[in-house]
Amino acid sequence: MSKEFLGEFEELVLTMVAALQEDAYGAAIAEEIETRLKRDVNLSAVHVTLYRLEDKGYIKSSLGGATNERGGRRKRIFTITSAGMSMLKAMKDARLDLWKLVPQLKMITG
């Protein structure tokens, strides 16, 4: 498991899936990234990444309900698997370990 790595965008999407829980589907994730990170993402990139993560076994999916905004189309709700969760954790820990190596400088204000 530790041999596998996630790209930056993959990690971001995976985190989003974990965060949004029942509301994790393509358009919502894209929207969330856009509003929270002020970062332009395009829908197809999110979809492709979701499918790739599903292939790798970090998330699983099932078809959920339809809404008016979606023209009656159902959404595919993604949920994070335990493998995904531990991957995310491992990545976060590794990141923190590395962060500790950085000399903690005081922020200079002004």
Partner 1 sequence: MFQEHLMNNNKPHPPKAALRLLSWFCPTELYEEIEGDLIYQFNKDVKTVGEKKAKQKVLLNVIRFFRPGILLRNRITIPLIPIYMLFNYLKVAVRVMLRNKSYSFINLFSLALGITAFAFLFLWTQHEFSYDQFHTDKDRLYKVFNRTYTNGKINSWDVTARVLAPTLQEEYTAIESAISYTAWGEQHLFIEGDKRIVKTTGAYADDAILTMFSFPLIKGDAKTAFKDPMSIAITEKFAQELFDEEDAFGKTVTIGEGSESFTLNVTAVLKDLPSNTDFRFEYIIPYKLVEMLSGKNTQWGNNSVYTFVKLKEGTDINQFNEQVKDVVQKHNKDADQWEVFLYPLTKMRLYSRFENGVPDGGRIEVVRLLAMLGICLLAIACINFINLSTARAQRRSKEVAVRKVTGALRNSLIAQFLCESLLLAFGAGVLSLVAVYMGLPYFNQLISLHLTLEFTNLNFWVGGLLLIILVGLLAGSYPAFYVSAFKPVKILKGLVISATGKSRLRAVLVVFQFGIAITLMVSVFVVQRQIAYLQNRDAGYNKEHLVYQYFTGSLKKNFEAYKNELLARGVAQSITKTSTPITDRWSNSDAMEWEGKDPENKTLFERIYADDAFATTAGLTVVRGRDMDPEKYATDSTAVVINESAAKAMGFDDPIGKRIRDNGTEWHIIGVVKDFILTSPWGQVEPVLLFGCVNSWPFSVAHIKLSAHHTLQENLQVMAELSKKYNPDYPFEYEFVDAAYARKFADLETTRTITLVASFLTIAIAGMGLLGLSSYMVEVRVKEIGIRKVMGGSVFSITRMLTWSSLKPILIAVIVFGPQAWWVMNWWLSSYPYRISVGLFTIPLAALSIIGLAVIITSTQTIRAARTNPVNSLRNE
In the complex, the residues that contact partner 1 under the rule CB under 8 A are: 25-27, 30-31, 42-45, 47-48, 51-52, 63, 66-76
Query: Nearer Cβ to partner 1, position 11 or 78?
Result: 78
CA 54 to centroid of chain Cα atoms: 12
Smallest separation (angstroms) from partner 1 to the CB of 76 = 4
Tokens of 87: 């991957």
Q: How far apart are CA 78 and CA 51, in angstroms?
A: 10
Query: Nearer Cβ to partner 1, position 42 or 109?
Result: 42
Query: Nearer Cβ to partner 1, position 73 or 100?
Result: 73
Smallest separation (angstroms) from partner 1 to the CB of 109 = 37
Smallest separation (angstroms) from partner 1 to the CB of 85 = 23
DSSP string, 21-57: GGG--HHHHHHHHHHHH-----HHHHHHHHHHHHHHT
Smallest separation (angstroms) from partner 1 to the CB of 74 = 6
Q: How far apart are CA 27 and CA 5, in angstroms?
A: 25
Query: Nearer Cβ to partner 1, position 37 or 45?
Result: 45
Tokens of 110: 């002004």
